[in-house]
Amino acid sequence: MTPATLRHLQASQYPRMPWRNGAGVTTEVAINAGGGLQGFDWRVSIADVGQDGPFSAFPGMQRIIAVLEGAGMELTVDGRKHALQGPGQPYAFSGDSQVESRLLNGPIRDFNLIYAPQRYQARLQWLQGSARYDFHSSAPLVLVFNAGQALQVTVNKQTSELAEHDSLQVEAADLTPYGLQAHAGVNACVIELQAIA
């Protein structure tokens, strides 16, 4: 088995940038190699939402969003309403959609995956509650984002300690075992990405 390559991404080092529509600020967690704000195949980010208003458009992309902090918000996506309340409840929609947001009870932070479905397959799952989760993944690129307290991530016998909002980016060539453990209970998002040949 080929050893996996692990890259610890620290929350204190994440770059911050304005939204495409200028109405807020995004903290970039991770992005595909060579990607930038005007063009990327996938990007993971945190957005600070302080007021009601429209979302930026990302034509041709797929979006998955979840509330990270705060009471939540109601999205109106192409005329259909959907409430996002509390962390760990991801919602997927097209980047082509017309989206308006309404805060339910004050500012929030949300967690976003945006990717090009014609170039990447993506799977996002939120793991919450238990002290430990074990799973295997054959995805060549996996991102583990820690939304809670200290999290220990073991990837094929390599262990990393993640602080709150830190991430671990894993590149692996084989089916790889993962273990997530936290004394206060795991609260983490796992994203699996695979390029489409």
Q: State the CB neighbour count (10 A cutoff) for residue 61.
A: 19
Give the N- to C-terminal CA distance of the chain in Å, as an integer: 23
The predicted-structure confidence for 155-179, as pLDDT tens digits, reads as follows 999 999 999 999 999 999 999 999 9
Which residues partner with 123 through β-bridges? 192
Residue holding tokens 């983490």?
188
The predicted-structure confidence for 52-104, as pLDDT tens digits, reads as follows 998 888 999 999 999 999 999 999 999 999 999 877 889 999 999 999 999 99
The torsion region of residue 119 among left (phi > 0), alpha (psi -120 to 50) and beta comes to: alpha
Tell whether the model's pLDDT for residue 35 goes beyond 70: no
Cβ neighbours of residue 35 closer than 8 Å, sequence gap 6 or more? 41, 42, 43
- Domain extents for the chain? 5-9+120-195, 13-115
Residue 185 CA: distances (Å) to CA of 116, 134, 144, 147, 181: 32, 13, 15, 11, 7
Residues 57, 95 contacting (CB under 8 angstroms): yes
pLDDT at res. 21: 65
pLDDT at res. 24: 72
> The dihedral of CA 23, 25, 30, 33: what is its sign?
positive
Amino acid present at 6: L
Tell whether the model's pLDDT for residue 17 goes beyond 90: no
What's the whole-number average pLDDT of the chain? 92
Where does residue 178 rank: exposed (0-12), middle (13-18), buried (19+ CB within 10 A)?
A: buried
Domain topology for 5-9+120-195: Jelly Rolls (2.60.120)
Both tokens of residue 187? Answer: 């609260």
How far apart are alpha carbons 93 and 91 in whole angstroms? Answer: 7
> How long a stretch of residues is the chain?
197
Give the range among 20-24, 46-50, 67-71, 150-154 with minimum mean pLDDT.
20-24
pTM (2 d.p.): 0.93
* CATH (residue range 13-115): 2.60.120.10
Same-fold call for 5-9+120-195 versus 13-115: yes
pLDDT at res. 3: 83
Cβ neighbours of residue 141 closer than 8 Å, sequence gap 6 or more? 169, 170, 171, 192, 193, 194
The predicted-structure confidence for 129-148, as pLDDT tens digits, reads as follows 899 999 999 999 999 999 99
pLDDT at res. 57: 86
How far apart are alpha carbons 50 and 24 in whole angstroms? Answer: 8
